[in-house]
Amino acid sequence: MDWIELTIHTTTAGADIVSEALMAEGATGTMVEDRADIPDPDKPNGYWEIIDPNLISSMPEDVLVHAWFTPDSSFADRMQALRSRCDELHHMDLGLDLGTLEISTLNVRDEDWAEVWKKFYKPFKAGRSLVVKPTWEHYDPQPGNRIIEDDIIRETGTSRTSIRPALLRLKYEGLVEMIPNRGAFVAKPSEEDLRQVYRVREVLEHGMLEDAIRHRTEAQLRAMEENLKAQEVLTQHYSRQEYVTLNHTFHWLVEASANKYYEKYLNELYNKINTYVIFYDQSSDNNSLVSHTMIYEALRDRDLEKGLLGLREDIQIAWEDMRKINVPL
């Protein structure tokens, strides 16, 4: 089945209005291409660390709203209705600059969507044994390989255009490494990276704990109690993935009553640590239960000194465990 890609030139202010008009006429989906979505690299806003300078220069000056239609007998009528709608918008006093509202069309072959993008996705190794393999690629497994067959776009129902910003966000958070002409890889932080992460974590958690103790709630304490019970069970039946989840949730519960910016920045640090733990840590026990219990008791009793002691012990245990991992940092 072939498709018709219809594009309307507009502005940032007009993108939503144009998208609604396209969907009202039966578009199967829309996509907005807007330079304003790419922050100014000279004015970082905290969400982007590195921006490809060619990304902005390669984008059109106008905001483009793309939509896709089936080329059936009703398409001509839809085109006429869209032209009439664009003409109406031009003459309406909305107080907005909607741009030229110029319309263009392009025939798109179904196989272009279904097949061509696949050539950019190849099997790759993440760590010593994990191999991520697209379902359409052949790979001869080596001894010890753990194969994950992955079809990101098909399974999530997204496009390459949608995947790229997601990978850039993961890169900023330290979870993915982007290598030119090779693709995206699970990041492997260096020892110096992790040392700096733990140092910043210690400073942030110190301030966060002071804030959390002052504002903690009974509901927060009950949730922490349930989390600690689950951690205790984990000491008998250890699962690394479950440990990462429970550990992250416990720290999130501690942060819940603190300044929201502690959560934002600490989560980025936890993500970087958890990436390494999930892929490389071979631990078979939960060493954090004692320190987590101390932190809980400190919040319950509003005992800052005990809480700081628990935090320091928790960070020290985590750092020592990290250094015991057999995979070289």
Q: Which residues pair with 177 in a beta bridge?
A: 185
Question: Whole-angstrom Cα distance, residue 303 to residue 210?
Answer: 9
Domain with CATH 1.20.120.530 in the chain: 191-324
In CATH terms, the superfamily for domain 191-324 is: GntR ligand-binding domain-like (1.20.120.530)
pLDDT tens digit sequence for 270-322: 777 766 665 555 555 567 889 999 999 999 999 999 999 998 898 888 777 76
In contact, 249 and 230? CB cutoff 8 Å: no
Question: Whole-angstrom Cα distance, residue 310 to residue 62?
Answer: 55
Question: Whole-angstrom Cα distance, residue 106 to residue 3?
Answer: 8
The closest alpha carbon to 266, from 218, 207, 329, belongs to 207
Would the pTM of this model clear 0.85, i.e. be above it?
A: no
pLDDT tens digit sequence for 145-195: 554 555 554 545 455 455 556 666 666 666 666 666 555 566 666 777 778
Residue appearing with tokens 């699962």? 239
Query: Fold for domain 3-113?
Result: Alpha-Beta Plaits (3.30.70)
Domain with CATH 1.10.10 in the chain: 116-186
CATH of 116-186, one of 1.10.10, 2.40.30, 1.10.150, 3.40.50: 1.10.10
